[in-house]
Homo-oligomer: A and B are copies of this chain.
């Protein structure tokens, strides 16, 4: 039971896109290069972020990706949801039914508890946004961040 690495990668990808000036765009390959991720697979993850309306894609020469929302409107939870999907951490396999031979599909003893647990978990992920992470990173890793920003500006288009 582990979160996909794609969630972490996507968070950093979006932080990188947040370094772009308005109207500029960064090709998928440049992003995956920075992340050290598999380019072809990361392209698929970028699609999920597009589908979730977190980023926009521009096709064609000088195409690429950029943020669709303001960084303060992108929560870590949104990214998690885009990548992992909305299935819950726990889903009853109906063991209780078999055990007690119930007819009505009344639920599992654990479902309520697990839903509550997951909901408090999610609420923590909803607190942090790209804006606040961007602040963090700027405050704590200053010199290195500027180098990264320079690289991004070099590779961006438009």
Q: Does A58 make an interface contact (CB < 8 A)? A: no
A4 nearest CB neighbor, chain B only: B1
Q: Min CB distance, A48 to chain B, in Å?
A: 14
A75-113 CB contacts (< 8 Å) to partner B: 76, 84, 87, 89-93, 95-96, 98-102, 106, 108-110, 113
Residues of chain B with a CB closer than 8 A to A108's CB: 8
A112 to B11, CA, bound (A): 14
A93 nearest CB neighbor, chain B only: B5
Number of interface residues of A (CB under 8 A): 56
A16 to B100, CA, bound (A): 11
Q: Does A51 make an interface contact (CB < 8 A)? A: no
The answer to whether A128 and B113 have CB atoms under 8 Å apart is yes
Residues of chain B with a CB closer than 8 A to A125's CB: 113, 117
Question: Which residue in B35, B89, B123, B128 is a CB contact (below 8 Å) of A1?
Answer: B89
A98 nearest CB neighbor, chain B only: B36
The answer to whether B148 and A100 have CB atoms under 8 Å apart is yes
The answer to whether A90 and B148 have CB atoms under 8 Å apart is no
Q: What 13 new A-B contacts, CB under 8 Å, besides A1-B4, A2-B87, A8-B110?
A: A1-B89, A8-B90, A11-B110, A12-B95, A12-B96, A34-B99, A76-B110, A100-B147, A101-B147, A109-B136, A113-B125, A113-B127, A117-B124
